[in-house]
Amino acid sequence: MEQVSTSCVIAGGGPAGMMLGYLLARAGVDVTVLEKHKDFLRDFRGDTVHPSTLQIMHELGLLEKFLKLPHTRITTGNLEIGGRLFTIGDFTRLPTLCKYIALMPQWDFLNFIAGEAKAFPNFHLRMETRADDLITGDGTVTGVTATGPVGAITIKAGLTVAADGRTSVLRDKSGLAVEDLGAPFDVLWLRLPVLPGDPADLIGKVKGGQLFVMIYRSDYWQCAFLIPKGGFETIKADGLPKFRDRLKEIAGFAAGRIDTAITDFEQIELLTVTVDRLKNWARPGMVCIGDAAHAMSPIGGVGINLAVQDAVATANLLGPVLQKRVPDFADLKAVQARREFPTKVIQFFQVAAQNLMLAPTLRSTQTPRPPLFVKILNGWPWLRQFPARFIGMGVRPEHVELAKI
């Protein structure tokens, strides 16, 4: 069995794990990131790079290079209720360098971070390597066992980070308790073609009991069709023609593209929505970040950005410690102390939105009346910066404090 020793082992090469790996390696810490897939190519992941994440890229001196990657920019958020369009968010007034959401495939984002991190000799990325279990001694986590392309590996580390997403294996093995906040809906992701003259925007559509979100991606529309929790099997049993009819009712200007674009349920990706968080994010020797610590609802598209914010905060808090010694339990608890509040605030709004607005709409066959706040935001353009600020910058935005060595 291969045996490796490192200062920090990170399970999961998603936004949280890759960003933390990059930041620690940049600060001279020996770090090993384990990613179970052989590449970052996965469709319909979080592709919304928010102004807060773009600000981090700027602080790292990477923004100009990053924005050379193909992406589209969204500057407003819109809601169409029963055919009437309301603009409810405006990113152009944000006090950040980039006043827009950049839509970029998550694999491009992750490949970019991996490429930058590989410049540091103390950064070790092991693809096709799955973290299997924790190594413990005297109640303290001292590393992980993993399986790589050539077999079993033991990785001893002063710090183990679970950044392996919302189905985190390490979180399960750690025994840390999860609080499930519930989610009454799931999301079906699909693509529709873009045609000349389409609006380059983000449009949420509400009609009858249907909810549909269209995100302009320059060469296609990334679309989310919201369904009651667990409802995909019923939709499949009802058959494709009926599903296409439902899409046509809500897709507005794109309705005529449904028949040719959607020819098989294989083209539909189910996102089983989960909203949860750990009661304690750490145990001695180990800390959880990103979705492993708190799975977010897709409302607001904040998942990647919160994961990146967690990574920055973790690097700021634990990087200086790792440069000198093994972090103790109090050091690890500081990550939760810093990041729990922003997580709770955003989850509070997500849960309120899904329970008070989305679930009743999905249960009904009537188009709801536009809520008062929607009318106010639409009527007062200056106010639209506030929801954009909440979504685009989050609560307690992080800044890179850990210096490059």
Ligand X SMILES: Cc1cc2nc3c(=O)[nH]c(=O)nc-3n(C[C@H](O)[C@H](O)[C@H](O)COP(=O)(O)OP(=O)(O)OC[C@H]3O[C@@H](n4cnc5c(N)ncnc54)[C@H](O)[C@@H]3O)c2cc1C
CB nearer to ligand X: pick between 13 and 89: 13
CB nearer to ligand X: pick between 128 and 259: 128
CB nearer to ligand X: pick between 10 and 258: 10
Which class for 138: exposed (0-12), middle (13-18), buried (19 or more C-beta within 10 A)?
exposed
DSSP 254-286: GGGGHHHH---GGG-EEE----EEES-SEETTE
Residues lying near ligand X in the complex (CB under 6 A): 11-17, 34-37, 44-48, 130-131, 163-165, 169, 189, 269, 271, 290-292, 296, 298, 301-305, 307
CB nearer to ligand X: pick between 190 and 307: 307
Q: What is the largest CA-CA distance in the chain?
A: 65
Identify the residue whose tokens are 């909810």.
Answer: 211
Provide the minimum distance between the beta carbon of 219 and ligand X in the complex, in angstroms, as a whole number: 17
CB nearer to ligand X: pick between 10 and 374: 10
CA angle, 11 then 12 then 14, to 5° = 155
Provide the minimum distance between the beta carbon of 80 and ligand X in the complex, in angstroms, as a whole number: 19
Provide the minimum distance between the beta carbon of 374 and ligand X in the complex, in angstroms, as a whole number: 21
Provide the minimum distance between the beta carbon of 305 and ligand X in the complex, in angstroms, as a whole number: 6
Edge to edge, the sheet with strand 101-103 lists: 48-49, 101-103, 72-74
Sequence-distant (≥ 6) Cβ neighbours of residue 188 within 8 angstroms: 224, 225, 226, 227, 232, 235, 268, 269, 270, 271
CB nearer to ligand X: pick between 255 and 353: 353
The separation between CA 228 and the C-alpha centre of its own chain, rounded to angstroms, equals: 21
Provide the minimum distance between the beta carbon of 307 and ligand X in the complex, in angstroms, as a whole number: 4
Residue of 300, 263, 235 lying closest to 48 (CA atoms): 300
CB nearer to ligand X: pick between 20 and 378: 20
CB nearer to ligand X: pick between 236 and 325: 236
How many C-alpha atoms does 118 have within 13 Å on its Cβ side?
9
Helices (H) and strands (E) in the chain, counts: 13, 20
Provide the minimum distance between the beta carbon of 196 and ligand X in the complex, in angstroms, as a whole number: 25
Per DSSP bridges, beta strands 101-103 and 72-74 are antiparallel
Provide the minimum distance between the beta carbon of 377 and ligand X in the complex, in angstroms, as a whole number: 21
Residue of 109, 45, 100, 53 lying closest to 73 (CA atoms): 100
Provide the minimum distance between the beta carbon of 47 and ligand X in the complex, in angstroms, as a whole number: 6
Provide the minimum distance between the beta carbon of 35 and ligand X in the complex, in angstroms, as a whole number: 5
CB nearer to ligand X: pick between 271 and 353: 271
| Residue 306 CA: distances (Å) to CA of 72, 73, 172, 296, 358 | 21, 19, 21, 9, 22
